[in-house]
Structure 1
Amino acid sequence: MTQTERTAEQDILAMPDDHYMNAQQLAFFEQLLRQQKKQIQHHIEQIKQHLSSVAVEPDELDRALIEEDNRQNLRLVEREYFLLRKIEQALDRVARQEYGYCVETGQPIGIRRLLARPTAELCLEAKERQEIREKHYKKQRG
């Protein structure tokens, strides 16, 4: 993180609660999300290039190691595509000026939570309820 980014983050954190998701904060998070999107897209391209450049090895052990590496890279790409979709959804919420508010309750998510997880859709309380429901559902199935 550059000094300018740290300063912008500090400015956002220093704003009073009644300035929540003002134009400056929305612009900050939009820039942050676009930056993350660009980094992820670049990383996906690097992995794709790596996967396409892998040579076929005649040795079974080498081939098995390469296949395992490829499998892990494919899982990583899948996770990053999922994150890209979440970033796109967050950018859509920024454009609609709904970013920063819980999709379940309408309550503010909070600047600190958004700095930690810019794609957050739920406030802390709603996220905790969701995790409890998921845990309970797992117990019922398991």
Structure 2
Amino acid sequence: MATALADFYSEEPFDRLILPDGYQPSETEDFMCARHRAYFLRKLKAWKEAIIEESRQTMAQLQVDSLREPDLADRASSETDWSIELRTRDRQRKLIAKIDSAIRRLYDGEFGYCDVTGEPISLGRLEARPIATMTLEAQEKHERTEKVSRDD
């Protein structure tokens, strides 16, 4: 984490860093160096923008389409489809909050470190799930504990 904090005081802030095309974070670089943080910031912002754009398209489609099919079965089918779509959008709204939280952690120098153990989260895990807040081991332990508590 010392490297992450040191980068805050470097001359070029990570959020303005220009990365080469095709850049991928590497284990050979210092963990959460400015390049890593710039990469994940761009990844998170692109993910958030894609979700927002999908949401805009859904809302536009809702306004265009009417659920006035003459056949009751067709109308029920359309209503079910839209219900599923709206539930998906609600889940994505919650995902945006997690993305915003990850972006805040990037600026605070806490991104990429486990909330439970303080250890670095693997780059592979962050690549697959950039909003991850726990190492794989801590997440598995959390889920086992949660499952045991739920079964009671």
Structures share fold, TM-score greater than 0.5: yes
Give distance in 1, aligned partners of 2:121 and 2:56.
Answer: 32
Per the TM alignment, residue 103 of structure 1 is displaced from its structure 2 partner at its CA by 1.2
Per the TM alignment, residue 45 of structure 1 is displaced from its structure 2 partner at its CA by 0.9
Alignment partner for residue 62 of structure 2, among 48, 51, 73? Answer: 51
Does 2:26 match 1:13?
A: yes
Q: Which has the higher helix share?
A: 1
- Number of the residue aligned with 1:104: 116
Asked whether the 8 Å contact 1:13–1:112 carries over to 2, the reply is no
Does 2:55 match 1:40?
A: no
- Number of the residue aligned with 1:31: 42
Amino acid across the alignment from 1:23: A
TM-score (norm 2): 0.82
Does 2:131 match 1:119?
A: yes
Give distance in 2, aligned partners of 1:82 and 1:36.
Answer: 13
Asked whether the 8 Å contact 2:27–2:123 carries over to 1, the reply is no
Give distance in 2, aligned partners of 1:69 and 1:52.
Answer: 15
Moved segments of 4+, more than 6 Å: none
Once structures 1 and 2 are overlaid, which stretch shifts more, 43-52 or 79-88?
A: 43-52
Equivalent pairs: percent with the same residue?
A: 35
Amino acid across the alignment from 2:111: Y
Give distance in 2, aligned partners of 1:103 and 1:94.
Answer: 14
RMSD, aligned α-carbons: 1.4
In structure 2, runs of 5+ residues without a counterpart are 1-19
Give distance in 2, aligned partners of 1:20 and 1:123.
Answer: 14
